[in-house]
Amino acid sequence: MHYVLDFILMLPLLIVFCIESLVKLFIPKKKKSVAGEIVLITGAGHGIGRLTAYEFAKLKTKLVLWDINKSGIEETALKCRKLGAQAHPFVVDCSKRDQIYSAAKKVKEEVGNVSILVNNAGVVYTSDLFATQDAQIEKTFEVNVLAHFWTTKAFLPDMMKNNHGHIVTVASAAGHTVVPFLLAYCSSKFAAVGFHRALTDELAALGKHGVKTSCLCPNFINTGFIKNPSTNLGPTLEPEEVVENLMYGILTEKKMIFVPSSIKLLMAFEKILPERFLAVLKHRLNIKFDAVIGYKDK
Ligand SMILES: NC(=O)c1ccc[n+]([C@@H]2O[C@H](COP(=O)([O-])OP(=O)(O)OC[C@H]3O[C@@H](n4cnc5c(N)ncnc54)[C@H](O)[C@@H]3O)[C@@H](O)[C@H]2O)c1
Ligand SMILES: *[C@@H]1O[C@H](CO)[C@@H](O)[C@H](O)[C@H]1NC(C)=O
Ligand SMILES: *[C@@H]1O[C@H](CO)[C@@H](O)[C@H](O)[C@H]1NC(C)=O
């Protein structure tokens, strides 16, 4: 009874906020300025991380670039400098907590306070549970989610002190919906989405409204990360398109960025439609990629 009454009392609020969201849809959003800020991007030696670095370089930020791949990160840094930005490449294996903490210390001493952190580095092993080695399962979690804890612990305190900053989580559509033969990857990306959502609430609970959060959840992207992906949900995304959406989302302080945005609708369907219909729908989506199957029916 109590709950019903509570809900009725909250109805006017619901209506006001629905109208507000609807109106906001039609008002172009203002992009914030990031000039002069120090931006750290993990996994900046290739793909999404690299292109994101280029976009931030054009916006007159200082870049701190982390990757396990030395030549990749140096190429990215060179191009950022050509675009007119300061760039500081660091070779860091994000699956190693001690490397993250020691690199973070060096960054603070040599460059300064990071105010935009983009946790982008990721790994994937496309195989069924039995063909995925234990060490690969551990690596997936270390890079795709545990690293986010260590980098955030290292750089968030200064952002909180200044009540200014932005933590960006690169997750995946696979952080909301599941796909066979991506068991470790999906569970690590669900964890990354959970990390982003819980961190967002924690910052609000602590009154740090100046520290923003964004989470990117894209479908397959043409970076070579997953081999030969395809789905009827749409063509494999070009990395440029994803990064354009990511930058717009960060600069307008959007919390959840789906690419394509139709994924949002699919997520809503998954929560309300009957299981059997969803099975048919998923079959029609026909999600495919190269994977190793270790299980054998004897
Ligand atoms: N490509 C896709 O289909 C797709 C779809 C959804 C989400 N994502 C996510 O986007 C992010 C970027 O992926 P991408 O497509 O640009 O991949 P990519 O392979 O092109 O780039 C990933 C970069 O991360 C680096 N990296 C890997 N392990 C690392 C480690 N231990 N420490 C430091 N750096 C490391 C790699 O060297 C590489 O430069 C990942 O988190 C991925 O999960 C990708
Ligand atoms: C490292 O980066 C270089 C330069 O971009 C690339 O040619 C090479 O394939 C990368 N190595 C690995 C292991 O990803
Ligand atoms: C970094 O932030 C701290 C607050 O946490 C501040 O005391 C310090 O002066 C800042 N350093 C620089 C170089 O801005």
Residue 139's Cβ-count burial label (10 Å; 0-12, 13-18, 19+) is middle
In the predicted structure, residue 130 carries a pLDDT above the cut 90: yes
Q: Is 270 in the pocket of ligand 3 (CB under 6 A)?
A: no
Q: What is the model's pLDDT at position 46?
A: 98
Nearest ligand to the C-alpha atom of residue 107? 3
At the topology level, CATH places domain 32-285 in Rossmann fold (3.40.50)
298 pLDDT exceeds 80? no
| pLDDT one-digit tens code per residue, 150-191 | 999 999 999 999 999 999 999 999 999 999 999 999 999 999
Q: Count H helices, E strands: the chain?
A: 10, 7
Q: Is the pLDDT of residue 1 over 80?
A: no
Question: Residue 111: nearest ligand to its CA?
Answer: 3
Compute the distance from residue 119 Cα to the ligand 3 centre, in Å: 22
- CA 158 to ligand 3 center in whole angstroms: 7
pLDDT tens-digit map of 15-64? 999 999 899 889 889 999 999 999 999 999 999 999 999 999 999 999 99
Q: Give distance in angstroms: CA of 170 to centre of ligand 1.
A: 9
Cβ proximity of 44 and 73 under 8 Å? yes
Residues with CB under 6 A from ligand 1: 42-43, 45-49, 67-69, 72, 92-95, 120-123, 143, 170, 172, 218, 220-221, 223, 225-226
Within 10 angstroms of residue 158's Cβ, the number of other Cβ atoms is 15
Q: Give the per-residue pLDDT at 233.
A: 86
Token pair of 53, please?
């670095």
Q: Name the more confident of 10 and 60.
A: 60
pLDDT at 160: 98
137 CB-contact burial (10 Å; exposed 0-12 / middle 13-18 / buried 19+): middle
Q: Determine the average pLDDT of the residues in 210-235.
A: 96
> Tell me, what's the pLDDT at 2?
77
Rounded Cα distance between 273 and 275, Å, is 6
Is residue 75 in contact with ligand 2, taking CB distance under 6 Å?
yes
User: Are 238 and 295 spatial neighbours (Cβ–Cβ below 8 Å)?
Assistant: no
Give the pLDDT mean for 266-286: 92
Decide if pLDDT at 67 tops 70.
Answer: yes
Weakest mean pLDDT among 172-176, 264-268, 286-290: 264-268
Q: Known catalytic residue: 54?
A: no
What pLDDT is recorded for position 8?
Answer: 85
- Write the residue with the smallest CA distance to atom 4 of ligand 2: 72
Q: Could you give the count of Cα atoms lying within 13 Å of 286 in the half-sphere of its Cβ?
A: 6
Predicted local confidence at residue 9, as pLDDT:
84
**What local confidence, expressed as pLDDT, does residue 28 receive?**
87
Length of the chain measured in residues: 298
Alpha helix stretches (DSSP H) within 83-182: 97-110, 134-141, 147-161
Indicate whether 99 pLDDT > 90: yes
**What is the distance of C-alpha 252 from the center of its chain?**
16
Check 3, 185, 248, 295 and give the catalytic one.
185
Check: CB of residue 84 under 8 Å from CB of residue 57.
yes
Q: How does the average pLDDT of the chain come out, rounded? A: 96
The continuous run of DSSP H or E covering 149 comes out as helix 147-161
Q: Tell me, in angstroms, the distance from the centre of ligand 2 to residue 75's CA.
A: 10
Instruction: For residue 245, report the distance from its CA to the centre of ligand 3, in Å.
Output: 31
For 152, the token pair is 């955030």
Give the residue, by CA position, lying nearest to ligand 2 atom 13.
Answer: 69
Instruction: Assess whether the C-beta atom of 112 lies below 6 angstroms from ligand 3.
Output: yes
- Position 280 confidence tier, pLDDT thresholds 50, 70, 90: very high
Say what the pLDDT of residue 224 is.
96
